[in-house]
Structure 1
Amino acid sequence: MDAKLFSDKPVGFSGVGLFLSLSIALSGASLWLDWSAGRSLGLGASLTAPLWVCTLATAALGYWAIPLLRQLKAGQVIREDGPQAHLKKAGTPTMGGIFFVPVGVAIALLWSGFASEVVAVSALTLSYAAIGWLDDWQILRRRSNKGISPKLKLALQIGFGGLFCLWLLWSQPFSITNLALPFGFSLPLGFLLFPLGWFALVAESNATNLTDGLDGLAAGTAAIALLGLGVLAAPTSPALMVFCACMSGSCLGFLSYNRNPASVFMGDTGSLALGGALAAVALLSNNLLGLLILSGIFFVETLSVIAQVSYYKATKDANGIGKRLLKMAPLHHHLELTGWSETQIVAWFYTIGGILAMLCLVLYPVFG
């Protein structure tokens, strides 16, 4: 593939342009969806208002939080075996999830009147943010790429995910175990839903974490997925719709600083929380299959890592050295090393995320 085909100059991608384009697209989509919801479902709740309140609140808080992170010397430690172009990002403040995640959660709780389902998904979201914070803090403290051990991180994710699934089993009607399928069909899973949901919570949080490797990539794709999931949740739970709109808005506000060139990274504090939030809402609103479609970007990124590791192990020679399927995993790094710029990769991933969200509206005709 000719790298000249993917230079920035002829295409004209920029971090500011991508941020503005995504902001306009999400605003237009939320306004249209609000009109459709009011017309067909009679919902009084809104996507647009919480989306923009959280966007502005997060952007305003960033003026204070990012300089504070710099003062605390919370600079990103860049992997030496990663793309060499990323070495210049060393020292950029990380752990940005500590200010944008609480904004979305707090406003969602207030906006929904502390609805029980919003309290539950907020608790799961903050729990996963705490796991990510612990990992980020250890990385910063040691000044290396190694945070808490992978086993401890996984154990904590499984533990909090298990508590959420137990709450589902105790508090929700058994009808929640009927998995919603496209065009109004459903699949009765019974108690199988709970181990499936448990897996989804851990897998989605790790998949979102893997996607957080380029400026604006995870924040923008998560904002799209959250807004789409909010639409799917709207008919059964307007409160969860508000939660998704708030978290989407927080991602958008964070993106005003995280777009290329980023002045702050979200760290595991943000990425694990976003994945947990997506899976928790999907479980509670019975939209796991819809989440799989909306999370297509995260899913492919995860598959690229699994394929890379599996192929390397399968092709090891007598010296213990294997072959690589990709130049580097996850997929966004492979594309980067083949000549794509960061902004081009992010632009295409945003576009694909938007297409997947529109596909969900076709497969799950929420509004008449």
Structure 2
Amino acid sequence: MDAKLFYRSTFKLSGALLFGALTVGLSLVAFYLDWLAGRSPIQIQSLVLPLWVCALTTAVLGFWAVPTLQALKAGQAIREDGPQSHLRKAGTPTMGGIFFIPVALVVAIAWSGFSPAVLAVSGLTLAYAAIGWLDDWQIIRRKSNKGISPRLKLALQIAFGGFFCLWAMLTQPVSITNLALPFGAVLPLGILFLPIAWFSLVAESNATNLTDGLDGLAAGTSAIALLGLGALVAPTAPDLMVFCAALSGSCLGFLVHNRNPARVFMGDTGSLALGGALAAVAVLTNSLLALLVLSGLFLIETLSVMAQVGYYKATKGPDGIGKRLFKMSPYHNHLELSGWSETRIVAVFYILAGLLTLLTLAIF
């Protein structure tokens, strides 16, 4: 067999095996958690049924959506200063969030009986998806990796996040301002709830966006985090449990087309929405600290960017050039430039995401 052909077939098989392991793992965990809670896996208010319905629906829908995006020439522009291995991905359709996010929202809204909490969280998710879509559209239109200005993107995130927090403060019980601590402890935040919740929405959205840099990375880690968050909030907010399970399932279905080698990218349309969804559920369920642990990988990715920028500025010489702490940020790019394969990085991140989820469920 030709060496190049052998490499490609192995490469594809690795991506497929990674996806298969994730799917089986999340399904077994969902079955176990439903059984542990005394829920039937085939009832609407469970983890298993929304997970699988959305996974299958998104996977099937993708066989129409991906060729449509290709026909619309919605190809991704690749950063020239990024890893050279990414240049071969130029032209891969992006904006995949437009077909996997709506599937989860429709299922969650319908199956929750149009729950106000699910409607609000879905609205915030859709708003952040719209910001991402605007950014993706500008990238496609300009055929450049630069979309809308960072200031405009941030301003829109802050604005929609503010509306959501205001709705929560005006409509939800006073107990929403409490922060759940490990082992059942509670910390009343009082007036501090508003800035903390507001910051969390914007920060989590951007952190998830930064993690979306390798085939299957953001979709897989988000699927793990969402299922974990759904299990965490199930006792007090079964409607939001359904929302989390549905969105986790949509991420799994999206991975049918996004696993390595990806046929489509989620773009900011998907990544901004996923982060917003995670934070919005956490805001309504006193789970912001739990989310910080649960989505620790997203935090690490964000901190790596901040450290890189800070170190570069601090070490600037007379020539205006500074030193780099990492070969490239976010951290997954540093690992890739250090010789790690994409699938190896994604596998390690999946394992770490799973361990963080187990830790969160154990202590909160």
Bucket of the pairwise TM-score, normalised by the shorter protein: over 0.9
Over 3 Å counting, the alpha-carbon distance change for 1:358 and 1:9 in structure 2 is farther
1:103–1:250 Cα contact (<8 Å) kept: yes
Query: What is the CA distance between 1:361 and its match in structure 2?
Result: 1.5
TM-score norm. by structure 1 comes to 0.94
The alpha-carbon deviation at position 44 of structure 1 amounts to 7.5
1:238 and 2:215 matched: no
Deviates more, 1:64-73 or 1:9-18: 9-18
What residue is the counterpart of 1:65 in the other structure? 65
Kindly provide the CA deviation profile for residues 215-260 of structure 1, in whole angstroms up to 9, marking residues without a partner as x.
Answer: 0000000000000000111111100000000000000000111000
**1:262 partnered with 2:262:** yes
- Post-superposition shift, 1:191? 1.6
Name 1:165's counterpart in structure 2: 165
Partner of 2:3: none
Structure 1 segments of 4+ aligned residues over 3 angstroms from their partners = 7-13
1 CA distance for matches of 2:264 and 2:37? 36
Separation (CA, whole Å) in 2 of partners of 1:92 and 1:363: 41
Q: Is the 8 A contact 2:315 2:322 kept in 1?
A: yes
List per-residue Cα deviations over 1:174-206 (Å, max 9, x = no partner): 111110011110111112111100000000000
Of the structure 1 ranges 13-22 and 113-122, higher mean CA displacement relative to structure 2 is found in 13-22
Rounded to whole Å, the distance in 2 between the matches of 1:114 and 1:245 is 16
2-side partners of 1:70 and 1:346: how far apart?
25
Instruction: Give the aligned partner of residue 151 of structure 2.
Output: 151
TM-score, length-scaled by structure 2: 0.95
In structure 2, the gaps of 5 or more residues are 1-6
Contact 2:44 2:111 in 1 (8 A): no
State the shift of 1:37 in Å.
1.3
Equivalent residue number for residue 308 of structure 2: 308
| SS at 1:54 equivalent | helix
The one-letter code sitting in structure 2 at the alignment partner of 1:169 is M
Asked whether the 8 Å contact 1:38–1:44 carries over to 2, the reply is no
Which residue in the other structure is 2:82 paired with? 82
Alignment partner of 1:346: what SS?
helix
String of CA shifts for 1:267-311, please: whole Å, max 9, x gaps: 000000000000000000110011001111100000000000000
Q: Pick closer, same or farther for the CA change 1:228–1:134 going to 2, 3 Å.
A: same
Kept in 1: contact 2:97–2:266 (CA 8 A): yes
Structure 2 matches for 1:38-53, cutoff 5 A?
Answer: 38=38, 45-53=45-53
Partner Cα distance (2:38, 2:190) in 1: 33
Identity of aligned residues (%): 70
CA displacement 1:1-25 (0-9 Å, x = unmatched): xxxxxx9999998100000000000
SS at match of 1:179: strand
User: 8 Å contact 1:97–1:267 — kept in the other structure?
Assistant: yes
Aligned to 1:286: 286
Distance 2:12 2:82 in 1: 26
Structure 1 residues 286 and 8: CA distance shift in structure 2, 3 A: farther
Count of residue pairs brought into register by the alignment = 355
Kindly indicate whether the alpha-carbon contact (under 8 Å) linking 1:8 and 1:344 is maintained by their aligned counterparts in 2.
no
Spell out the pairing of 1:305-344 with structure 2 (5 A cutoff). 305-344=305-344
The answer to whether the Cα contact below 8 Å between 1:219 and 1:251 also exists between their aligned partners in 2 is: yes
Structure 1 residues 358 and 98, CA, compared in 2 at 3 Å: closer, same or farther?
A: same
Task: Provide the rounded CA distance (Å) in 1 between the counterparts of 2:292 and 2:148.
Answer: 28
Amino acid at match of 2:300: V
Once the two structures are superposed, the pairs formed by residues 120-135 of structure 1 within 5 Å of their partners are 120-135=120-135
- Contact 2:293/2:356 (8 A) holds in 1: yes
Note if contact 1:8-1:341 (Cα within 8 Å) is conserved in structure 2: no
| Contact 1:226 1:248 survives alignment (8 Å) | yes
Distance 1:30 1:167 in 2: 31
Q: Which runs of 5+ in 1 are unaligned?
A: 1-6
- Match in the other structure for 2:202: 202
Specify the alignment match of 1:3 in structure 2.
Answer: none
Q: Provide the C-alpha distance between the structure 1 equivalents of 2:287 and 2:13, rounded to a whole number of angstroms.
A: 34
For residues 168 and 48 of structure 1, what CA distance do their matches in structure 2 show?
A: 28
